[in-house]
Each structure stands twice: as structure tokens, then as C-alpha cells.
Amino acid sequence: MFTGSTVLLTGVGREGQVGEVVAGAFAAAGASVILVDRTTSRVNARTQAIRDAGHQASGYACDLSDPSAVTALAQTVRTSHGPSLNALVHMAGGFAMSGPVAESTDDVWNRQLSINLTTAYLTARAFIPLLRAGRGSLVFFASQAALPGGAVAKMSAYAIAKTGVVALMRAIAAEERPNGVRANALAPTSIRTASNVQSMGEAVRYVERQQVADAVLLLCSAQASAITGTVMPLG
């Protein structure tokens, strides 16, 4: 399905997180995967696991909220893996409750915008030229909190950051359509990850990690070649 493709995935994270399954699914489908995470040990572990399974993988540590670091990463990827990407899946981010707006803090606000929205912007800006060369697909992770009617009370910072991700995606979809680049977003409810189960328990209706991976691969596939500017709810 993706044989001969080069796919970059950010936020691969710890074992038991969604990035682990999405990266593995791309690799099993024949893609050469480039994994990015802030923590060297984590990205190395995910990269080695994919190699041990007999697939192609490379890993890089990068703070995606740092403009100069992201620019350097894009240059490294271009030099080491060629001038084009077939897909970019931006999973970097994180969730935290910010509490009622009247009682919230600058720290939580700034961090939620940084890890969810700023990383999406900087990563997209740096890698769109490679996606143009590969006429590739860009998939962002939004949230049901960013959809009309979604629950946002006491999580305004997160909801606003993810709403910004949706607006960013739509802007890129409109701007890059003439260049053959597609941009879409997933808007899942809670995903069954190790950290979510630890914090919320089992009495939650989760989206399974494999369901997320299936949706990502679909949006990046030739089957979805006419789909751009779309938010796909999950759960």
C-alpha cells in the first residue's frame, strides 16, 4: 500500500501510545518511516522496534516548539532521506485541564498552545516543501473538543489549541491544493493509550489505537486522493 513511500511521523512517544501503532502500521504497509520525538531514548526505542520487525525506520530527537530546531531537522531529513515526503503525520502534542478560565494560569495556557499548535505550525511550515515534491498528504491530530458542541469547560487552553490546529489544516489545504498537497485532521475522543487508561481507568469509551492507525493510513492513501480540508471525527 505504501511500498516505496517515505513517511514522517512526529510524537511517536512512549510504548503504549498511539504513535507506536501508527508508525508500525505504515512500516508494515511498506513505507520507510522517519520518526520524531522530543526524547532521544523514546524515539530510539520506537525506531529499533520497527527495525527489529524487519522494516525500514530512522529516528530523530527534536523539540518541535523550537523554530531553529525544526528548521535543522527538515534540512537533516532532506539530506539523509531525499527531497520529498509522501506523508507527514503530526501527532506531537498533549492534554492538560486548565480549569475554569477565571482561575486558569498563564503557564498551562502557554504550554497547551506551544505543544499542540505551535509544533503543528512549525512542523508544517518546515516540511511543506518536501510534501510538495512528493505530492504528499499531511494529517494533523485535532480533538472532538475542537468540533461544534464538543465539551470545552475547564479545558479551554487545550480546546483552543486544537481549534487552531483545525484552522491551520484548512488554510494549508486551500493554499497547497494547487501544489498537489492534501491536508486533513482527525478529531478523536479519548484514545486507549497506556497513559489515558492509567489516568482515566477502563470505564471510558475509548477509540482503539488500531482504529486511529487505520484512519491515518486511509487519509494518506491513494483512496483518499480527492479528500482535503476535512476533519474526520473518531469515536
CATH number at residue 101: 3.40.50.720
pTM of the model: 0.95
Domain with 127 in it: 6-234
Q: What is the DSSP string of 85-109?
A: -SEEEE----------GGG--HHHH
CA distance 175 to 205: 36
Tell me, yes or no, whether 137 lies in a domain.
yes
Domain assignment present for residue 39? The answer is yes
For residue 78, what is its C-alpha cell?
532532506
Radius of gyration for the chain, computed over Cα atoms and rounded to the nearest angstrom: 17
- 187 domain residue, yes or no: yes
User: 11-15, 49-53, 81-85, 103-107 — which is least confidently predicted?
Assistant: 11-15
Q: Please write the tens of the pLDDT for every residue from 34-82.
A: 999 999 999 999 999 999 999 999 999 999 999 999 999 999 999 999 9
Does some domain include residue 188? yes
Residue closest to 136 by CA, chosen among 19, 221, 33, 11 = 221
What pLDDT is attached to residue 46? 97
Residue 1 lies in a domain: no
